[in-house]
Amino acid sequence: MDYSIEYDLDDIGELASTLVQKADSKVLLFYGEMGVGKTTLIKSMVKSMGGHVSATSPTFSLVNEYPVKDDLVYHFDFYRINDPLEALDIGFEDYLGSGHWIFIEWPDIIEVLLPDEVVKIFLNQGKNRSRALDLELVNSN
């Protein structure tokens, strides 16, 4: 599933639902500059999955857990870590092996720990306050 789209914040609910339904992997990586809307998109995705807890950025806790309909979402923010070993120290491999949804902001530092198949979501500032999203399935098999 590779595609690009430009969207307004008014359209984020529909986009979030579509991303969840069409995801080829339960491990989603969110790339983009600070303030581009990674957490906002994740919040909408959790809501579209039946989550009743408002998603917030786990910048200091590193991971937040959200119950959703028939599943869980683990939301990671690795902005503040400097080494993949820090992710291992919080049990990141156990989360990956759980079979639940894994949403990761700032995944660059831990890419060596990731499974072969992930969905990469690249967010950029679009025109007139819109956002641009590029999505690609990565399968190194």
Pick the CATH number of 14-115 from 1.10.3720.10, 3.30.70.20, 2.60.40.1120, 3.40.50.300: 3.40.50.300
Helix (H) / strand (E) containing 94: helix 92-96
pTM of the predicted structure, to 2 decimals: 0.88
Contact 103, 88 (CB under 8 A): no
Question: Which amino acid would we find at residue 34?
Answer: M
Residue-wise pLDDT for 6-41, tens only, equals 777 777 888 888 889 888 899 999 999 898 888 989
Residue-wise pLDDT for 121-132, tens only, equals 888 876 666 677
Residue-wise pLDDT for 67-126, tens only, equals 999 999 999 999 999 999 999 999 999 999 999 999 999 999 999 999 999 999 888 876
